[in-house]
A and B are shown apart, each in its own frame.
Chain A
C-alpha cells in the first residue's frame, strides 16, 4: 500500500526530465521554462478531465451498466448484476430491436446510395463555369443550416393528409389520402427523404471544396486524350478525390447513426420510426427507467459507431506521423 504521507511530503522528481531538455532536435521544447510547462499541462489537463468525466466516463459506465438490471434508484449492489441477460433479451425477445436495426440500415443505405451521390452529382455539375452556380449552390445548401427538429416540423406540413405531397399526387380526398408519417410500412422512408433534403447539400459543399483542390491540368490532360466528361470524372477525378470520398462516407455513416431529432419530432421514434438512438432514451429516460437494458442498446450503437470513428482516426494518425 502506498504511504500517503510520504507521497504528499516528498516532492516528486520534476517531470521536466533533463534528457528531454538536452536532446538535440527538440529545441522547441527546451525553450520552455518550468512555469510554461505547468501552464501547458493545465491548458490540456483541465479539458482532458472534462472530456473524461462527461464523455468517455459515461461511455465506459454505459458498458458496465449494460450488465446490470439497475432501474435508476438506489445503489447498485451485486444483486443488480445480471451478466449478459440484457443482451440475450435484446437480441432474441425484444420485439423493437430488429425493426430498429433495419430502420438504421435503411437510413444508412439511403444516405450512402441515394443522398450522398446526389450531393456529389450536384457538386460536379456546379463546379464548372456556369452562370448562377452560386445561386444554385445556395438553394441546395439552405436546408443544411436548419436543425433536424425544424426540418421535422417543415416536413410534417409536406406529409400532412392535405399537405403538399398528397396535393401534388391528387390524394387529398376522403378515402385516398396517403398517411405518410402514420403508416409504419412507409414512414421510415418519408423520414429519411426529409433528412436527405439536408444531407444532399452538406455532401455537395464538402465535395465542392474537394473539387476546387483538384489539379486542373488533370482535367485538361483527360480532355486532350479525348475522354468524355463522364469518363474524365469516373476515371480521373473520382479516384483523385479518394480522401474526400472517405470523409464523406464517414460523415454519412456517423450522421445516420446519430439520427434522432427528426423521428423524435414526428412520433418520438415509435410505430415504424424506431431507431437504436430512440430505443435508448425511450427505455432509460423518457418512458421507462430500465437503465441497464437501455445501456445494452447504447453499447450496441457505440460498437457500431466505433467502426467509422476508428477509420477516421487512423487516417488522421497517418497524416500526422
Chain B
C-alpha cells in the first residue's frame, strides 16, 4: 500500500474508534456490576461481566410494556401517514397548478417548523377537543394514544408528501393517462397504477418514519402526562431516577432502547438511506 493510502486508513480507523467509543463505553459499563465499579472505578479491569443489569433494568421498570406503547403509536401512525401522504402527493402532482404548488409548500413548511413553536396552543387545543370514549378514556386528545398518533400523522405528512410528490413527478405521465382513457377513476388509477410504482419510495419512507416516530421524545413528553402510557423513548425520562438508579443499569436501559433502531438500520439500511436522500437531492 502506498503511504498516502495508509495514512488515510490510519485516519479513518482513528475516527471510527472515536465514533464508536461512546457506545462501547456504555456497553462496557452495562456489563459490569455496580458494586465492582464503585470499588474499583469505572476505568478498571472487570472482576466479572454479565447481562444482570439488562435483566434488572428490564424487570424493575417493566420495559417490555413500553415497547408495546411504542408499537401502539408507531404502527398506525406510519401506515396512515404513508397512505394519506401518497393520496395527497398523487392529487397534487396529478393536477399541476398554482394552488397545488402552494399547498405543497404549506405542507412542507409545516414539517420544517420547530415543533416547540406550536406546542403551547396545541397543548390547550388537545385539552379542549372532545373525543368519544372508545378512542379516548378521558374524553380528550390530551394524554391519549390517539392524540400522539394524530400529531405524528399531521406533522410527518409534510415530509412524506414532499418526498412522494418528488418521486411521482419522475413517473411517466403516459401511465396515468392510459388508465384514465381506459375509464379508470382517479382513485382506481391511484390504487392500481401509482401506488405499486411507488413501492420503493414507500418502503424507504416507511423505514425512516418508523425510526422518526420510535425516536420521538418531544410530543409524548408534552402531550402525554401519564408516565406508564408513554412510548419507550420518552419513558426513559421518567424511568431515570426511579428505576434506573445507578449508571450501570441506566447504560443497559439506554442501549436496550437503542437496539430496535440499530436493528432496523442494519436490516433495512438501503431503504433508510434512500429515504433520507430522496428528501434532499431531488428537492
Residues of A within 8 A of B (CB): 28-29, 31-33, 35-36, 39-40, 43-44, 47-48, 50-51, 53-59, 61-62, 65, 72, 122, 125-126, 130-132, 136, 138-143, 145-150, 153-158, 160, 162-164, 167, 172, 197, 202, 205-206, 209-210, 213, 244, 247, 251, 254, 257-258, 260-261, 264-265, 276-277, 280-281, 284-286, 291, 294-295, 298, 301-302, 305, 308-309, 312-313, 315-317, 319-321
B105, B107, B120 — most chain A CB neighbours (10 Å): B120
In the complex, what residues of A have CB within 8 A of residue B26's CB? 154, 157
Q: A47-B161, A58-B119, A206-B281 are in contact. List 20 more A-B contacts (CB 8 A).
A: A32-B186, A44-B88, A51-B107, A54-B155, A55-B113, A57-B125, A58-B121, A136-B16, A142-B19, A150-B258, A163-B25, A172-B41, A197-B22, A206-B276, A206-B277, A265-B237, A280-B120, A308-B112, A313-B108, A321-B101
Query: Could you tell me if B277 and A301 are in contact, using CB atoms closer than 8 angstroms?
Result: no
Contact B121 A143 (CB under 8 A): no
Q: Which of B185, B251, B281 contacts A36 (CB 8 A)?
A: B185
Shortest distance from the beta carbon of B146 to any chain A beta carbon, whole Å: 13
Assuming the A-B contacts A54-B151, A205-B273, A264-B221, are A317 and B105 also in contact, with contact meaning beta carbons closer than 8 angstroms in the complex?
A: yes
**Across-interface contacts of A202 in B (CB, < 8 A):** 276
Q: Which of B6-64 contact A (CB under 8 A)?
A: 8-9, 11-12, 15-16, 19-23, 25-26, 29, 41-43
Which 7 pairs from chain A and chain B are nearest by CB?
Answer: A147-B215, A58-B121, A209-B277, A167-B43, A153-B254, A58-B118, A61-B121
Tell whether, in the assembled complex, residue A48 and residue B117 are in contact, meaning their CB atoms are under 8 Å apart.
no
Given contacts A139-B20, A146-B261, A153-B254, A62 and B118 within 8 Å (CB-CB): yes
Pick from B108, B110, B154, B280: contact of A209, CB under 8 Å: B280
Cβ contact of A143, chosen from B19, B115, B124, cutoff 8 A: B19
User: Is B69 close to A, CB under 8 A?
Assistant: no
Once A145-B261, A153-B250, A209-B277 are accepted as A-B contacts, the answer to whether A44 and B103 lie under 8 Å apart by CB is: yes
- Given the interface contacts A28-B177, A54-B125, does A59 sit within 8 Å of B94 by beta carbon? no
Report yes or no: B155 in contact with A47, Cβ–Cβ below 8 A: no
Q: Which A residue sits closest to B85, measured CB to CB?
A: A47
**Known: A58-B125, A150-B254, A313-B105. Is A39-B185 also a contact (CB below 8 A)?**
yes
Is the beta-carbon distance between A295 and B154 smaller than 8 angstroms? Answer: no
B171-215 CB contact bits vs A (8 Å, 1 = yes)? Answer: 001000100110001110000000000000000000000010011
Question: Do the beta carbons of B108 and A51 come within 8 Å of each other?
Answer: no
B19: chain A residues at CB < 8 Å are: 139-140, 142-143, 197
Q: In the complex the two chains form, what is the Cα distance from A294 to B103 in whole Å? A: 29
Q: Which residue of B lies closest to A200 (CB)?
A: B19
Q: Are A315 and B120 in contact (CB under 8 A)?
A: no
Our pick among B42, B121, B283 for the contact of A62 (Cβ within 8 Å) is B121
Determine whether the beta carbon of A47 is less than 8 Å from that of B88: yes
Instruction: State which of B117, B173, B218, B281 has its C-beta within 8 Å of the C-beta of A302.
Output: B117
Interface size on B, residues (CB 8 A): 98
* B214 surroundings in chain A (CB, below 8 A): 147
Contact residue among A51, A142, A149, A150 (Cβ-Cβ distance under 8 Å from B20): A142
Chain A residue contacts of B281, Cβ below 8 A: 206, 209-210, 213, 244, 247
In the bound complex, residues from chain A placing their C-beta under 8 Å from that of B5 are 130
B114 in contact with A157 (CB, 8 Å) = no
Query: B105–A316 contact, CB under 8 A?
Result: yes
Query: Which residues of B222-263 have CB atoms within 8 Å of chain A's CB atoms?
Result: 222, 233-234, 236-237, 240, 247, 250-251, 253-254, 257-258, 261-262
Which residues of A lie under 8 Å from residue B251 when comparing CB positions?
Answer: 154, 157
CB pair B121 A145 closer than 8 Å = no
Structural contact, A277 and B114, CB atoms closer than 8 A: yes
In the complex, are the beta carbons of B9 and A130 less than 8 A apart? yes
Distance (whole angstroms) from the CB of B38 to the closest CB of chain A: 10
Residue of chain B at shortest CB distance from A35: B185
In the complex, are the beta carbons of B233 and A150 less than 8 A apart? yes
What is the count of residue pairs linking A and B with beta-carbon distances less than 8 angstroms? 284
Of A146, A265, A281, A295, the most chain B CB neighbours within 10 A belong to A146
Q: Mark B115-141, 1 if CB is under 8 A from A, else 0.
A: 111111111110000000000000000
A277 to B277, CA, bound (A): 27
Contact between chains at A257 and B114 (CB < 8 Å): yes
| B contact residues around A305 at 8 Å (CB) | 112-114, 117
In the assembled complex, which residues on chain B have CB atoms less than 8 Å from the CB atom of A302? 113-114, 117
A160 and B247 in contact (CB under 8 A), knowing A33-B185, A280-B119?
yes
Does B173 contact A28, Cβ atoms closer than 8 Å? yes
Structural contact, B222 and A285, CB atoms closer than 8 A:
yes
Q: Using known A-B contacts A150-B257, A261-B217, determine if residue A40 contacts B8 with beta carbons closer than 8 Å.
A: no
What would be 7 A-B contacts, judged by CB atoms less than 8 Å apart?
A: A51-B157, A54-B125, A55-B155, A146-B258, A149-B237, A150-B254, A258-B115
- B91 in contact (CB, < 8 A): yes
Chain B residues near A281 (CB, 8 Å)? 116, 119, 222
The answer to whether A59 touches B106, judged by C-beta atoms less than 8 angstroms apart, is no
Contacts of A291 in B (CB 8 A): 120, 124
C-alpha gap A257/B11 in the complex (Å): 32
Collect the chain B residues with CB atoms within 8 Å of residue A247's CB: 280-281, 283
A143 vs B94: C-alpha distance in the bound complex, in angstroms? 38
* A145 to B26 alpha-carbon distance, docked (Å): 17
Complex contact B247–A56 (CB within 8 A)? no
Which residues from B are CB-within-8-Å of A31? 177, 180-181
A54 touches which of B122, B161, B264, B283 (Cβ 8 Å): B122
